[in-house]
Amino acid sequence: MRQVYRLLKLNSLLRGHRAKFAGVFLAHTFGFRHLAIRFDPVMACNLRCTMCAFSNEDYVRGLKGRFTAEEIERLAASFFSRALLVVFGCGTEPTVYKNFPELVRIAKRHRVPNVSMTTNAQLIKAEHIEQLIDYGLDELTISVHGTTRETYEKFMVGASFDKLHEVLGLLEEAKARRGVRSPMLRINYTVNSENLDELDMFFHIFGRYTIGTLQVRPVMDIRGQYRTPLDAAELPRYNKIIAALGEKCRERGIIYLANTVDPTYEAPNDGSVVLQAVHRYIGPMDVWQRDFDWRNETYMQYCRRIGWGRYLLRCAMSDLDKVRTRNAELWGKYAVKYEVNF
């Protein structure tokens, strides 16, 4: 997974968009792996976290669908040969899907070099961890929005703090027993006004686990019940805590992702402009583009139909303002709003 984080860091260091789109054009043309795929096998979640859209009943009522095993095989055959990264879980809970470890085996059968799963971990059992190791999962990302039981269970409605630590312990034990490093553990912490101070205690509570990556992301408006951004008066304290946490990550060799430049998401977000070229969302309600007839045509057939290669070349030759317009439609101000530190 370090390959992916190095590319993210390189993306932040390279300011010009032309070279990025030219690189993607060449990868697309010559069939190199370059796609970052976010894959939701089912539109459901077992929790109702207050900072997530699943706490919004109107949003939940509009969700429907799950892929069949045959549909997942077809999508994998269509997309995965071009994938550099596949992440199962993008706003929904992949462990709700029956036999979810099989998703990892399918991705690895297609030789995807970086396979990750994002989860709240509440449905994971010991046998699942053994399967995920057997099938080659590279990274397990677990959402943790508090370091105390009270805060964690307040924001992750329906979750158990004890269950979280049980799963983290099972993962640690299984990897040590089998002498493996993967899946690496990534912790995602969404910070708000009420759980900010608890970041100071993060390594007191979670330091016993072998963490590969820590991401700290200020709360965003993604239609959840709790969407209030950090107040301007809180930013000095936020920056102080974030800096101290970054130093602790460096001491432990942990990759650290943190939004230190624009925690209120007010500045233009050109860092994500190339994502429109490499990101592919796959879910039961939406497979990449709305006019993609994925049941009857392959990914490459569709790309040829819409002239995707020509579009990438135009982006490489266009001014940033023209490319930014589409980026705003797809990503707004939130995507890749963090710095990558090793």
User: According to the model, what pLDDT value does residue 331 have?
Assistant: 58
The residue-averaged pLDDT of 161-165 equals 98
Contacts of 66-72 with CB under 8 Å at 24 or more apart are 66/41, 66/42, 66/97, 66/284, 67/41, 67/42, 67/284, 69/102, 71/295, 72/41, 72/103, 72/106
> Cα 262 to chain center, whole Å?
19
Whether the Cβ atoms of residue 81 and residue 109 lie closer than 8 Å to each other: no
Q: Is the pLDDT of residue 330 over 60?
A: no
pLDDT at 38: 96
pLDDT range class, residue 333, cuts 50, 70, 90 = low
What rounded mean pLDDT belongs to the chain?
A: 93
Determine the residue type at 328.
A
Q: Which of 81-85, 271-275, 335-339 has the lowest mean pLDDT?
A: 335-339
Percent residues over pLDDT 70 in the chain: 98
pLDDT digits (tens, 9 = 90+) for 189-219: 999 999 999 999 999 999 999 999 999 999 9
Residue 12 — pLDDT band, cuts 50, 70, 90? confident
> CA 316, CA 172: separation in Å to the nearest integer?
45
Report whether pLDDT(268) > 80. Answer: no
265 pLDDT higher than 70: yes
Between 323 and 292, where is the model more confident?
A: 292
Token digits of residue 174: 């299984």
pLDDT digits (tens, 9 = 90+) for 79-100: 999 999 999 999 899 999 999 9
> For 275-321, how does the pLDDT look when each residue is reduced to its tens digit (9 = 90+)?
889 999 999 999 999 999 999 999 999 999 999 999 999 999 999 88
- CATH number (domain holding residue 65): 3.20.20.70
How many separate domains does the chain show?
1
Q: Which amino acid belongs to residue 233?
A: A
> What is the structure's pLDDT at 178?
98
pLDDT-derived band of residue 107, with 50, 70 and 90 as boundaries? very high
| Full domain range(s) for residue 332 | 2-341
